[in-house]
């Protein structure tokens, strides 16, 4: 016992050093490590929510067909049956959610079609392609074809 | 009581271990129970993958356009989270294909190889959402990670913009967003797929060349696709665990 107290300042010094060191580590860690880090892995769990918070711009065709049943029926019968509405109409989530009173503008009835149907050797041979100058030099394609059900035969 | 050195070391050891445990417990007390992903979406019920059918791609560029719109990817300069490459393989030199991707395919592909000998095809590219991704391994701050449902994401609030991951990605899928100076990449439209929607690029793909799939969902058509087609991933020799499966991938594709 006496032996112990004889050199106690060594021990006290060391203990203080330990405590300060550990405290500093705990405080530093608390400040530096973001909340939720490590919950699912080596990352901040809240980052998942951050990414999910991004707004949706393409409503998805399932939403469009709920209201535009006539066009959905028309499309279902033709060769464009599997093309999403927004592939031609562009992102319309604000319209579909009723957040915008603006009536969406119609897609260009020529440029829209040419984007997909202009002939190109790199396109798969089975895909229907046309040479615009030969097939219809100018004017809207919709003069003959219906946009939502394009086959004439 | 005579304290031996052993006693002292034992006591200090216990003290260190217990205070560390207390610190851990304190963290849990402060933050409460984790309740990160509410609603019906359960992280562990999904394992996302992607299929690309090269024989179906017509190079319309709808996917590139939609991705930029959906995810606010800068139009200029031309960075893309997904892009389409055009390959022209000359039969005399199969090892060195001609590859181009004007503006990532954003405006489509003006005819270039008409009348030339050789094979031509489009290869849509995007993040492969690797299961053991090199980009994740090199991140010094844990800002890029594989989510428990198999999507490689970036924590923009912790990204330093150090570009290690840009270098590490064997597929060139990452770029630095000039507006934030942080890294940007395909999120597999995480904000959409966790709400039951498909990705923006799949939504607008006219031929179904791109398909999102959930490997943990036994009813997902991706299982039939993987069974019925001879698929390949990009750069299998890199052992990245890529989850982007290509049907009809030519050996010349890099």
Give the whole-number percent of chain B exceeding pLDDT 90: 80
Question: CA of A143, closest CA in chain B: separation in Å?
Answer: 22
pLDDT at residue number B30: 66
pLDDT at residue number A1: 59
Question: CA of A83, closest CA in chain B: separation in Å?
Answer: 5
pTM of the full structure: 0.88
Chain A residue numbers with beta carbons less than 8 Å from the beta carbon of B102 are none
Give the three-state DSSP class for B85: strand
Does A153 have pLDDT greater than 90?
no
Domain ranges of chain B: 5-37+132-148+156-184, 48-129+189-247
pLDDT tens string B163-221? 999 999 999 999 999 999 999 999 999 999 999 999 999 999 999 999 999 999 999 99
List the 188-217 stretch of B: residues with Cβ below 8 A of A: 190-192, 194-195, 197-198, 200, 203-208
CB contact under 8 A, B190 and A57: no
User: For A87, which of B23, B62, B108 is closest by C-beta distance?
Assistant: B62
CATH of domain B5-37+132-148+156-184: 3.30.70.20
pLDDT tens string A1-45? 567 677 788 889 999 999 999 999 999 999 988 889 999 999 999
CA distance A25 to B163: 29
Mean pLDDT by 10 residues, chain B (254 residues): 80 86 74 54 95 97 96 88 96 92 94 93 97 96 95 95 96 94 96 96 97 96 96 95 96 90
- Four-CA torsion B113, B119, B124, B129, nearest 10 degrees: -150
pLDDT at residue number A4: 63
Alpha helices, DSSP H, located in B76-216: 134-138, 164-168, 190-193, 200-204
pLDDT at residue number B35: 47
Domain ranges of chain A: 8-39, 61-143
pLDDT tens string A89-100? 999 999 999 887
CATH of domain B48-129+189-247: 3.30.70.20
pLDDT at residue number B11: 87
What is this model's ipTM?
A: 0.86
Q: Which among B92, B20, B60 has a CA at the least distance from the CA of B201? A: B60
Interface with A, mutate which of B62, B89, B182 (most A CBs under 10 A): B62
User: For B58, which of A4, A57, A123 is closest by C-beta distance?
Assistant: A123
Chain A residue numbers with beta carbons less than 8 Å from the beta carbon of B46 are none
Q: In what order do the strands lie in the sheet with B48-53?
A: B210-214, B48-53, B244-247, B231-232
pLDDT tens string A63-115? 999 999 999 999 999 999 999 999 999 999 999 998 878 899 999 999 999 99
B64 neighbors B104 (Cβ within 8 angstroms): yes
User: For B206, which of A35, A87, A91 is closest by C-beta distance?
Assistant: A87
Is B254 an 8 Å CB contact of chain A? Answer: no
pLDDT at residue number B38: 46
pLDDT at residue number B204: 97
Chain A residue numbers with beta carbons less than 8 Å from the beta carbon of B3 are 4
Chain A residue numbers with beta carbons less than 8 Å from the beta carbon of B132 are none
Long-range Cβ pairs for the range B27-36 (8 Å, 24+) = B27/A30, B31/A35, B31/A36, B34/A36, B34/A39, B34/A45, B36/A36, B36/A39, B36/A40, B36/A45, B36/A46, B36/A48, B36/A49
> One fold for both B5-37+132-148+156-184 and B48-129+189-247?
yes
User: For A115, which of B60, B111, B187 is closest by C-beta distance?
Assistant: B60
pLDDT at residue number B199: 97
pLDDT tens string B78-89? 899 999 999 999
Is B76 an 8 Å CB contact of chain A? Answer: no
Look up tokens 């919709």; give the residue.
A142
């Amino acid at each position: 016992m006496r032996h112990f107290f004889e050199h106690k300042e060594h021990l006290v010094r060391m203990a203080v050093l330990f405590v300060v060191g550990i405290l500093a580590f705990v405080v530093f860690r608390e400040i530096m490590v973001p909340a939720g880090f490590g919950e699912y892995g080596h990352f901040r769990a809240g980052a998942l929510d951050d990414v999910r918070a991004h707004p949706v711009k393409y409503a998805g065709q399932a939403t469009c067909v709920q209201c535009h049943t006539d066009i959905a029926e028309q499309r279902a019968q033709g060769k464009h049956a599997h093309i999403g509405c927004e592939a031609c109409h562009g992102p319309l989530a604000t319209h579909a959610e009723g957040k915008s009173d603006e009536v969406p503008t119609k897609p260009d009835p020529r440029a829209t079609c040419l984007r997909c149907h202009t002939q190109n050797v790199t396109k798969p041979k089975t895909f229907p392609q046309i040479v615009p100058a030969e097939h219809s030099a100018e004017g809207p394609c919709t003069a003959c074809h219906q946009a939502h059900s394009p086959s004439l035969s | 009581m005579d304290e031996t050195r052993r006693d002292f070391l034992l006591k200090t050891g216990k003290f260190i271990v217990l205070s560390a445990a207390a610190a851990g417990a304190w963290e849990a007390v402060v933050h409460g129970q984790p309740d990160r992903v509410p609603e019906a979406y359960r992280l562990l019920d999904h394992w996302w993958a992607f299929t690309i059918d090269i024989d179906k791609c017509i190079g319309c560029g709808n996917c590139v356009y939609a991705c930029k719109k959906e995810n606010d990817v800068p139009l200029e300069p031309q960075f893309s989270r997904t892009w389409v490459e055009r390959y022209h393989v000359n039969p005399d030199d199969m090892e060195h294909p001609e590859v181009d991707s004007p503006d990532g395919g954003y405006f489509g592909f003006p005819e270039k190889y008409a009348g030339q000998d050789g094979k031509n095809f489009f290869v849509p590219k995007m993040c492969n959402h690797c299961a053991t991704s090199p980009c994740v391994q090199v991140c010094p701050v844990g800002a890029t990670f594989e989510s428990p449902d198999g999507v490689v994401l970036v924590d923009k609030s912790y990204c330093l913009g150090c570009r290690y991951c840009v270098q590490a990605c064997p597929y060139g899928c990452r770029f630095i967003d000039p507006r934030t100076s942080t890294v940007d990449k395909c999120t597999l439209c995480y904000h959409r797929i966790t709400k039951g929607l498909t990705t923006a690029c799949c939504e607008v793909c006219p031929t179904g060349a791109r398909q999102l799939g959930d490997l943990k969902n036994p009813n997902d058509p991706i299982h039939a696709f993987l069974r019925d087609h001879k698929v390949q991933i990009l750069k299998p020799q890199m052992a990245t665990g890529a989850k982007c499966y290509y049907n009809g991938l030519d050996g010349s594709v890099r």
